Structure 1
Amino acid sequence: MDDVRAKAQELYRIALDDASWRPELVTVERGWTDPEFADVLRLLNRLGLFVPSPETRNGWTALAPDTALRNLLLEEEQHTGALLSAVQQTRAALAQVVTDFQPVHARELSSVQMEVVTGAANVSAALEDASQRVEREVLSLHPGRALPAEMVEAGLERDRLALGRGVQIRTIHLGSAAAVPHMTAYLRRLNTAGAQVRTAHTLPLRLIVVDRSLAIVPAPEPVDGDIAAVVLRGETLVGVLRGIFEHCWAAASVLGEAGTAASTAAPEGEGGWQPTGRHRELLRMLEGGLTDETMARKLGVSERTVRRLVSELTERLGAASRFQAGVCAVRLGWLDD
């Protein structure tokens, strides 16, 4: 770098003495290489001492140091002015965002509310409040085992009152729960009262949706060891949960006249025994590596029932293990649906 500075001082003196200096003569007389000469020109130009000039043979004009300094300061002022202008524009844009658009976003956020309700009594109160407020529809998913008869009767009375007000009710229960005698009777009476009832072999979560704007789901974990539910308000978020319900509804079975699923029997096909929907769900869960406990919870049955169903499958398929049963089921196309 020191060598470039020294050469730059030398070329600057030459240019001040003779404005018509010729680059090729300078490099030859002083033994500079082309890259060295180029480095010298870049340094003088960066310092403002050499400025391009189409009127000279060498293409450059040498300026006095004070002129070069003044030009550098002016250029820096222009750059700083542009930067300040950009900062001012950014500040103005930020102010507009805060003034014009933040309130819109705040209103959108305020439309989505979440409340955690803790304790069986408080959860029941939230459900009762929702049943009193409903105006158009109630959608519900009920995984797990059958509820006690007294709880079912209380729920039936609330549903009848809502149906009497013209509320549409659609509900899906596990097929295993619907097969319990008091649940069979309850679902039959609910269906007769005007509700639409379907059954499924598995359901993703317990869910109640009220009028497209309110949903109640179980809390992911108990709060301080007590039962808890999450009450959600807001059409956007509740709309997502409603979509989950509609997906389950499309795949569920219509309740038959006897109060059970319309198609739970296993028909005999050309190849002999065919699996029921519950068997198919069990095969999918076996394929996913779920434990007996998890499968029992999802099907709403006991682990003993799960083991019996698995035994039925392996026996019917002539398989020696669960894994082999899954392979056979895939080969037969039982999991294609």
Structure 2
Amino acid sequence: MSAPSIGPQALRLFRYASARGDWSVRSACEQLDTTVDEIEHARGQLIDLGLLVESADDGPTAKATAPEAALLRLLTAEEEATVRLADRIRRTRERIDAMREVFLPLHVARSGTLGDEVITGADRIARVLGDIADIATSEILSMHPGPVRPPEVLAEGLRRDVQVLERGVTMRSIHLRPMTRIVHSMKHLQELRSAGAQVRIADIVPFRFILVDRVQALVPALHTDAANAMMVLRGEAVTALLVRVFEMCWASSVPLDESGAGEESGLTSQQLGVLRLMSTGRKDESIAREIGVSVRTLRRVMADLMAQLGVESRFQAGVRAARTGLLD
């Protein structure tokens, strides 16, 4: 609501009406040397402000009131309007929650095939993320592998996450360690944590997903040929499995500001993660994608790792790791 304004003509009329209890529009025009339209406009401004009060006995003139009383009436009216608005918002949210409880199970039952739920294109995926965030009422769990995203993408995600957190929704997220090595991404994580989210860092994250209220999730559509395609999953059977995966990754990750694992062995947590992936026979490209770095960076990490282990080949590194218990 915009603040009411008062013009110079209205001020002149207020002074005139305050000095005379029986004024009329005609007498005001004569005394103030102005037109009927100007007087009517000024009269309307003063009535809106409560400085003139109409009554059935006064006819078209209206009586001047004390400014203090008018201001108090304005404040009281604004407070009452705020209370009414808050009540409407509360009742609207109650209706939305009730509709959600009724219609979400129906939507889950209708969405029996996964093919209809595949989402492609960065813009469409962003819209679906926004929709999912909007319906969250209690909890969002998320895991974020892959390369570090550009500042503008992280900023948009942070804006959406802060709005969710301000509604009282709990948020836990797991991110790859490279996020902590770049200024803009580390700042993003710190701001996310400051907004109320619980943030952890891992060396390996199996796949990206966002799980809302343990009933709806956005996961990679690995069964399609489309690049970066995502898929919406619903239903307790699937989401319970995602919760189990998340909790296992959460338990093996560390809070944002804590040092990594591997201190006793002299290896960094990243080196331990690479060592474990190497032991599974994964190729360099696959390992690099898994930990969110380039192949060139990965090979530098692997060279440092083998130098610290005192070996010259991946096979020897695996044998040394097994003998020393690094893979336990």
Counterparts of residues 68-147 of structure 1 (less than 5 Å): 110=110, 114=114, 115-147=117-149
| Counterpart check, 1:255 vs 2:269 | no
SS at match of 2:232: strand
How far the C-alpha of 1:289 sits from its partner, in A, is 1.2
Output one character per residue of 1:228-265: Cα deviation in whole Å (capped at 9) or x when no partner.
Answer: 21111112211211211111111111111xxxxx1227
Structure 1 Cα separation of the partners of residues 181 and 232 of structure 2: 30
Q: Is the 8 A contact 2:108 2:234 kept in 1?
A: no
Q: Aligned partners of 2:224, 2:112: CA distance in 1, in Å? A: 23
Secondary structure of the corresponding residue to residue 142 of structure 2: strand
Number of residue pairs aligned between Structure 1 and Structure 2: 221
Closer, same or farther: CA 169–320 of 1 in aligned 2, 3 Å? same
Which of 283, 297, 301 aligns to 1:309? It is 301
Q: Please identify, of 320-329 and 185-194, the stretch whose mean Cα deviation from structure 2 is larger.
A: 320-329
User: More displaced, 109-118 or 162-171?
Assistant: 109-118
> Following TM superposition, by how much is the alpha carbon of 1:333 offset from its aligned partner in structure 2, in angstroms?
1.6
Decide whether the 8 Å contact of 1:134 with 1:167 is kept in 2. Answer: yes
- Root-mean-square deviation (Å): 2.1
Partner-residue secondary structure (3-state), 2:192: helix
Q: Give the Cα separation in 1 of the matches to 2:121 and 2:303.
A: 40
Q: Deviations over 1:177-209 (max 9, x none)?
A: 232211100000110110000010001110000
Q: Which residue of 273, 277, 301 maps to 2:269? A: 277
Deviation of 1:160 (Å): 0.7
Query: Does 2:321 match 1:329?
Result: yes
CA displacement 1:36-77 (0-9 Å, x = unmatched): xxxxxxxxxxxxxxxxxxxxxxxxxxxxxxxxxxxxxxxxxx
Which letter maps to 2:129?
L
Q: Percent identity?
A: 42
Query: Which residue number corresponds to residue 228 of structure 1?
Result: 229
Deviation string 1:277-324 (CA, Å, 9 cap, x unpaired) is: 211111111111111111100110111111111111211122121111
SS at match of 1:173: strand
Q: 1:179 is matched with which residue?
A: 181
Question: Cα deviation per residue 1:88-128 (whole Å; 9 max; x = unaligned)?
Answer: xxxxxxxxxxxxxxxxxx99954756411222222111111
CA contact (8 A) 1:136 1:168 kept: yes
Which is higher, the Rg of structure 1 or of structure 2?
1
Q: Secondary structure at the match of 1:141?
A: strand
**Match of 2:259, as an amino acid?**
S
Separation (CA, whole Å) in 2 of partners of 1:158 and 1:112: 29
**Equivalent position SS for 2:140:** strand
Unaligned runs of 5+ residues in structure 2 are 1-105
Counterpart amino acid of 1:315?
A
Q: Are the aligned partners of 1:144 and 1:298 in contact in 2 as well (CA < 8 Å)?
A: yes
- Counterpart Cα distance in 1 of 2:171 and 2:108: 29
What TM-score results when the alignment is normalised by the length of structure 1? 0.62
**1:112–1:233 CA contact under 8 A, matched in 2:** no
> What whole-Å deviation, never above 9, does each CA across 1:133-152 have from its counterpart, x for those lacking one?
11111110000111111010
- Structure 1 segments unaligned to the other structure (5+ residues): 1-105, 257-261
Partner amino acid, structure 2, of 1:140? S
TM-score (norm 2): 0.63
Deviating runs (4+, > 4 A) in structure 1?
106-113
What SS does the corresponding residue of 1:169 show, helix, strand or coil?
Answer: strand
Q: CA 1:167 to 1:113, structure 2 compared with 1: closer, same or farther past 3 Å?
A: farther
* Distance in 1 between residues matched to 2:284 and 2:108, nearest whole Å: 44
Match of 1:216 in 2: 218
- Counterpart of 2:193 (choices 186, 191, 194) is 191
Q: Assess if the C-alpha contact under 8 Å between 2:262 and 2:272 holds in 1.
A: no
- For residue 182 of structure 1, what is the amino acid of its counterpart? H
